[in-house]
Amino acid sequence: MKRDIIKFGLMGLLLFSADAFAGNPDRSGGAGATQLTINPYARSSGSGGSNSASLKGVEAFNLNIAGLAFTQKTDIVFSRVSYLQGSGVNISNIGLAQAVGENGNGGVIGIGVASWDFGSIPITTYDNPDGTLPTFSPQILNFGASYSKKFSNSISGGFMIRLVSEGIQDVKARGTAFDFGVQYQTTLKNAKKGAAKIKKDDFHLGISVRNIGADMKYTGSGLSFRSINAQTGADRKAYFAADKFNLPTLVNIGLGYDMRLDGKEATTYYHRLTGSFNFNYNAFQSNVVALGAEYAYKETAMLRVSYQITGDEQLFSKNMADPLYSNPVYGFWGGATFQVPVSKNGTSMAIDYSYAPTRIFNGMHTIGIRLTVGGKKG
């Protein structure tokens, strides 16, 4: 137990190196399709993204796709995000993972769809500034297809292709983004006598690269205007030039360690405490370091908390509300899961919730419902 606490503490010390990872705050606003950086899954967002090395199943879609390989049979998640609560913006998300081949030896395929709802926004123009015209709503839709596989008892890897679409009625942009990820797990601590049958992989390491793809560009009739040649009087349709923009490339490097709290001679584990760490490199914002912990009782009731710090602020800074900070999310994240079995073959249902604080509005709230078919709990 003492060794476990020491290892957890050493992981925490990595937080204090955050100032060494300043990132690229000067490039803030230089990328588009930034919705790709928002995690719509309640279980992993409750950990503040710190669990990128140990997450499993559909939750791996937005942090490290290699974790998809741990799907036992079928994993389905529906989640709803109240983004910047008070702004009227919501995200609806659904993810599906299915193991293929005998005993899942063929790997796991997954599909995920995320749609943003901005509500109805009044149209205003120079001649009609009071919003008396009809309304419009921006459209953002992301569709992802993925494949992940266990290459050994310790190593899994995967990739995802995501189709990105955003815009309004007469101006749109479309693109393609790729994710790649690898996870490694092993046992650092030998199982005690009498507990060999429940030996667990307690150390986790994960690396992922996200949102790799060609630049996107807006096109459409909304960029057109009427052009009349002053000399010839020719009346023609012309277009404003729209510049290309980059995708928000990210790199995640994560560590995790599972501590079993039931004692040295336990033959059944009821209590688990997992410490997690993630360094997030952002090509267009300040980098983020996250430290998290998750407590689970019988893998049925789970509580999780995380703290995030960016490269442009000090730990527990008194000026977190300063609008000059490039990252809108800060501080302590939290979440909870309640999971119950619904059949003897391992099928279970779970309800997940997470909260993330934000510098403006009233934070982000995510609620998820998860169905795991024929697999182990958790």
pLDDT for 8 = 44
pLDDT for 22 = 46
pLDDT for 57 = 92
DSSP-H helix ranges across 59-121:
none
pLDDT for 238 = 79
pLDDT for 83 = 92
Q: Is the torsion defined by CA of 297, 55, 248, 318 positive or negative? A: positive
CA distances for 9 relative to 3, 18, 193, 279, angstroms: 10, 16, 27, 16
Q: Classify residue 276 by burial, with Cβ atoms within 10 Å: 0-12, 13-18, 19+.
A: buried
Q: Model-level pTM greater than 0.85?
A: no
What is the rounded distance in angstroms from the CA atom of residue 35 to the CA atom of residue 25?
18
pLDDT for 133 = 80
Strand boundaries in the chain, DSSP class E: 74-83, 89-99, 108-117, 121-122, 135-136, 139-150, 155-168, 171-186, 203-212, 218-219, 224-228, 235-239, 250-260, 271-282, 288-297, 301-310, 331-341, 348-356, 364-373
Vertex 127 angle, CA 121 and 128, to 5°: 35
The tokens of 258 are what? 């599972």
The correct answer on CATH 2.40.128 for the domain covering 2-208+250-373 is no
Measure the CA dihedral 123/125/129/134, to 10°: -30
Low-confidence residues of the chain, pLDDT below 50?
1-2, 4-22, 191-198, 314-318, 320-326, 377-378
Whether the CB-CB separation of 21 and 263 falls below 8 Å is answered with: no
The structural domains of the chain, with segments of one domain joined by +, span: 2-208+250-373
pLDDT for 267 = 65
What is the rounded distance in angstroms from the CA atom of residue 174 to the CA atom of residue 167?
9
Whether the CB-CB separation of 307 and 48 falls below 8 Å is answered with: yes
CA 289 to chain centre: 14
What is the rounded distance in angstroms from the CA atom of residue 159 to the CA atom of residue 107?
12
